[in-house]
């Protein structure tokens, strides 16, 4: 019997005779964008937070940034409030100390004091947004210490007064995200204690540590504005290649990614690759992929939770190190784009909801109630390491605290939130106007925006295994009244 065939269809990506090249570059470009997005985005953040050009850009655009030269800390002296927060769903529980390191030429020494009365942590992440180490109450204990932070492959002589227990970074450029707890938000004395602790976080190059010479970090001029991929995709691939030249992926002690990099190299993406050697059709396909790639990441980050968890959403279990588990979409969308980086689950878990008990969006036109029925209903944490939980409200429009709110967060340790009902529980009302007896008999209030949708983040620091491991703890539903 003679076989019959359908008429061959031409690819619709382009009218070019070599349309297969554009289609191939587009399909591989989407994967390359998901894989390489953190290099582009965190390179932009590093420039913004550390250079004179970044400082000028922030001033011109009216943005408040944690600015400090490379190899030094920018340290906040106040908790986030609607008046000083600039987006990014900031916590209202800790002071932030952020910094960028460059260990290309030599390691840095990260020094911390003894911290015996509160939670603190300093998260260390590579420029791919995956963490590689922590210093803090849970990770390294309450004692003072001077910790060596070394780059990939570094294996030199270490002074006796320096602790070499942290894994080596996989990239020479490193992000530090420090958090220092404030135990009483209404106490200037306690805030001053937290500031005094944070002031003792220091960074010293190894050579200065050995010689004893003072170290003074100097900001780079670097006036050229790099690509901000959240605003523009033109130039994505050049920015990605340049960042990977400086911070090659797949370097030990990281997971080998040579096969993936070889595949991306077929369209000119990756370290030591030249886009100028690619065809016009390949470049067209890559440009289309970059434009669609950022939208793909945004959509993944807005995925809805399920009814089984009362419409609360846990992060993936590999959060904080997703790329080392080849989960590149989580790394790009939930770590880099949504938060620059993210905690390991055993350090802290952020559980989100933007939906009520019926799966409808939380909106300022409605009133809601959230009830912890008794003491067993609260999130479990390890208080041996000063763990705690908090619930904070944000506006969906700008990922910020509710701008005119006077009651936007509640936590488990602050004296003003210790009231409980007769069963040891708590009821939280989410509405525009303050409920009667707020703060009495376990009644508390989160003030919703004047208009628009909002969402909540339930943070649990040093969480119990039902939260960080099995994810079987179910937060209370938000019931519309």
Q: Where in the chain is the domain with CATH 2.60.40.1610?
A: 13-213+228-306
Crossing angle of helices 19-50 and 236-246, in 10° steps, is 60
Separation of alpha carbons 285 and 267, rounded Å: 10
CA 263 to CA 247: how far, in whole Å?
19
**Any idea which residue has 């106490």 for tokens?**
187
For domain 345-480, the CATH class is: mainly beta
CA distance 170 to 42: 15
Q: Which two tokens stand for residue 8?
A: 């061959």
Distance between CA atoms of residues 251 and 50, nearest Å: 25
What is the CB neighbour count within 10 angstroms for residue 11?
A: 14
Return the pLDDT at 315. Answer: 92
Separation between Cα atoms, residue 216 and residue 218, nearest integer Å:
6
Q: What pLDDT is recorded for position 6?
A: 42
- The two three-digit tokens of residue 251, written as one number: 């370097």
Q: What is the pLDDT of residue 303?
A: 64
pLDDT at residue 11 in the model? 46
Peptide bond into 253 cis (omega under 30): yes
> How many angstroms separate the CA atoms of 303 and 316, rounded?
12
| pLDDT score recorded for residue 401 | 94
- Tell me the Ramachandran region of residue 359: left when phi exceeds 0, alpha when psi lies from -120 to 50, beta otherwise: left
Q: Quick one: pLDDT at residue 224?
A: 81
What is residue 48's predicted lDDT score, i.e. its pLDDT? 95
DSSP 202-270: EEEEHHHHHH------------S----TTT--TTHHHHHHHHHHHS-TT-TTSPP-HHHHHHHHTTT-S
Question: pLDDT at position 10, please?
Answer: 46
Q: Which two tokens stand for residue 37?
A: 């997005």
Q: Phi-psi region for residue 387, left (φ > 0), alpha (ψ -120 to 50) or beta?
A: beta
Residue 384 is predicted with a pLDDT of 96
pLDDT value at position 2?
39
Q: List where CATH 2.60.120.600 sits in the chain.
A: 345-480
Q: How are strands ordered across the β-sheet holding 173-181? A: 72-75, 94-102, 173-181, 120-126, 131-136
Q: pTM for the whole thing?
A: 0.92
CB contact at 8 A, 102 and 71: yes
Residue 301, phi then psi, degrees to nearest 5: -70, -20
Q: Which fold does the domain 13-213+228-306 belong to in CATH?
A: Immunoglobulin-like (2.60.40)
* Span between the terminal Cα atoms of the chain, in Å: 71
pLDDT along the chain (481 residues), means of 10: 42 58 96 98 96 93 92 96 82 96 98 98 98 98 98 95 97 98 96 98 98 94 86 95 96 92 97 95 96 92 75 94 96 92 96 95 97 97 97 91 94 96 97 93 96 96 97 97 94
Q: How far apart are CA 258 and CA 275, in angstroms?
A: 19
Radius of gyration of the chain (CA): 24
Question: Dihedral, CA atoms, 380, 381, 383, 386, nearest 10 degrees?
Answer: -140
DSSP 8-state assignment for residue 248: -
123 with 177: CB under 8 angstroms?
yes
């Amino acid at each position: 019997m003679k076989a019959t065939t359908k008429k061959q269809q031409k690819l619709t990506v382009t009218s070019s005779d070599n349309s297969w090249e554009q289609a191939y570059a587009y399909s591989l470009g989407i994967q390359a964008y998901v894989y390489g997005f953190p290099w582009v985005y965190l390179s932009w953040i590093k420039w913004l937070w550390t250079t004179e050009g970044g400082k000028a850009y922030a001033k011109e655009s009216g943005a408040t940034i944690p600015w400090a030269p490379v190899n030094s800390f920018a340290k906040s002296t106040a908790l986030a409030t609607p008046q000083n927060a600039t987006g990014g769903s900031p916590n209202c529980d800790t002071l932030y100390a952020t910094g960028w390191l460059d260990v290309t030429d030599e390691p840095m020494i990260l020094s911390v004091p003894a911290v015996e009365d509160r939670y603190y942590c300093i998260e260390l992440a590579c420029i791919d947004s995956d963490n590689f180490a922590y210093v803090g109450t849970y990770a390294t204990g309450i004692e003072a210490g001077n910790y060596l932070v070394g780059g990939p492959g570094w294996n030199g002589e270490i002074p006796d007064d320096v602790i070499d227990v942290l894994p080596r970074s996989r990239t020479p450029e490193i992000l530090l995200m420090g958090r220092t707890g404030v135990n009483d938000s209404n106490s200037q004395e306690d805030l001053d204690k937290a500031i005094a602790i944070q002031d003792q976080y220091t960074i010293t190059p190894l050579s200065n540590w050995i010689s004893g010479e003072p170290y003074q970090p100097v900001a780079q001029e670097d006036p050229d504005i790099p690509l901000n991929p959240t605003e523009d995709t033109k130039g994505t691939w050049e920015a990605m290649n340049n960042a990977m030249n400086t911070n090659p992926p797949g370097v030990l002690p990281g997971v080998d990614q040579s096969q993936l990099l070889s595949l991306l190299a077929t369209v000119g993406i990756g370290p030591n690759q030249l886009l100028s050697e690619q065809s016009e059709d390949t470049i067209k396909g890559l440009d289309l992929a970059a434009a669609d790639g950022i939208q793909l990441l945004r959509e993944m980050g807005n995925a809805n939770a399920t009814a089984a968890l009362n419409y609360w959403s846990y992060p993936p279990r590999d959060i904080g190190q997703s790329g080392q588990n080849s989960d590149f979409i989580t790394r790009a969308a939930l770590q880099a784009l949504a938060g620059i980086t993210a905690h390991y689950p055993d350090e802290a878990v952020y559980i989100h909801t933007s939906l009520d008990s019926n799966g409808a969006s939380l909106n300022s036109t409605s009133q809601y109630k959230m009830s912890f029925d008794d003491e067993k209903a609260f999130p479990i944490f390890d208080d041996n390491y000063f763990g705690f939980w908090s619930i904070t409200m944000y506006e969906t429009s700008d990922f910020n605290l509710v701008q005119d709110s006077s009651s936007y967060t509640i936590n488990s340790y602050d004296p003003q939130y210790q009231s409980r009902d007769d069963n040891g529980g708590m009821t939280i009302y989410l509405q525009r106007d303050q409920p009667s007896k707020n703060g009495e008999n376990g009644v508390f209030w989160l003030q919703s925006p004047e208009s628009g949708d909002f969402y909540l983040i339930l943070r649990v620091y040093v969480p119990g295994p039902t939260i960080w491991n099995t994810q079987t703890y179910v937060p209370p539903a938000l019931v519309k009244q």
